[in-house]
Structure 1
């Protein structure tokens, strides 16, 4: 096994969103509404069972993710995809964090994947995902509170 196959790749991408940090965080922390508030069209349904989130893709594939933490103080969401990978990966862990920015809010997405060989394709998907999230959040009229009927896992 090569070093590249055993070293976890870390991908860090960010985007500035023309919305308040509170508005961006409200969309990110609403873990049961990915298909509506972050990635409409790329995720067609989101289901929550305890701390597990199920994302249904347009192809019908279902990704199972463990919600690790939702931290309102630091505006950080951590999760790990554990089943249904759409890439050939053995391990996945990711986090979103929202920071104030002069132009609104900065959304940072950090993802660890193994094997390292999956990093290039994962980075393409992350970059595309951030673009869609930015467009979706900017086009929406978010409130500062998650939708109570879909918020799912809360610490």
Structure 2
């Protein structure tokens, strides 16, 4: 199994970054607009996300760990036989965060493609979170 590890610093406090990450149904608006173009919840604990490159994926929420600012999900029904990812936010000094995103994927040959997508997603997240902060939560 291939493991892809991405880490980057965000010039925004950990609580702000975590608030955007944990908003599972608004990832396209609050965390990675431009990289993601749409997101809908399917009523079964998953979101259907559309990427700017045309890819569509069903991401099933595995868990949200509030105290550790960690979210985990798995992609179901795709070409990979296994895809599990987690993202976690750490405080990294005043007004700064460290964002860690880890994906395990099978077959190993998918690692290059997934890694490239994660690079693009990381750029979109960092840009969004640093510009004006994430978009506010949608009213429930």
TM-score using structure 2 length: 0.89
Structure number with bigger Rg: 1
Unaligned runs of 5+ in 2: none
Q: Give the conservation status (yes or no) of the 8 Å contact 1:30–1:147.
A: no
Residue in structure 2 matching 1:24, options 4, 17, 20: 17
CA distance, structure 1, for counterparts of residue 27 and residue 85 of structure 2? 15
The answer to whether structure 1 residue 70 and structure 2 residue 70 are counterparts is no
CA distance, structure 2, for counterparts of residue 25 and residue 137 of structure 1? 10
Residue in structure 1 matching 2:49, options 55, 58, 62: 55
Distance 1:125 1:20, change over 3 A: same
* Equivalenced residues, count: 138
Q: Give the conservation status (yes or no) of the 8 Å contact 2:39–2:50.
A: yes
Q: Give the conservation status (yes or no) of the 8 Å contact 1:90–1:114.
A: yes
Once superposed, which parts of structure 1, at least 4 consecutive aligned residues long, lie more than 4 Å away?
Answer: none
Q: Give the conservation status (yes or no) of the 8 Å contact 2:35–2:120.
A: no
Deviations 1:101-125 (A, max 9, x none): 1260001000000011111221121
Q: Give the conservation status (yes or no) of the 8 Å contact 1:35–1:45.
A: yes
The answer to whether structure 1 residue 98 and structure 2 residue 86 are counterparts is no
TM-score using structure 1 length: 0.81
CA distance, structure 1, for counterparts of residue 74 and residue 48 of structure 2? 12
Q: Determine the structure 1 residue equivalent to 2:3.
A: 10
Unaligned runs of 5+ in 1: 1-7, 150-155
Cα displacement (A) at 1:36: 0.7
The answer to whether structure 1 residue 107 and structure 2 residue 134 are counterparts is no
CA distance, structure 1, for counterparts of residue 106 and residue 34 of structure 2? 27
SS at match of 1:67: strand
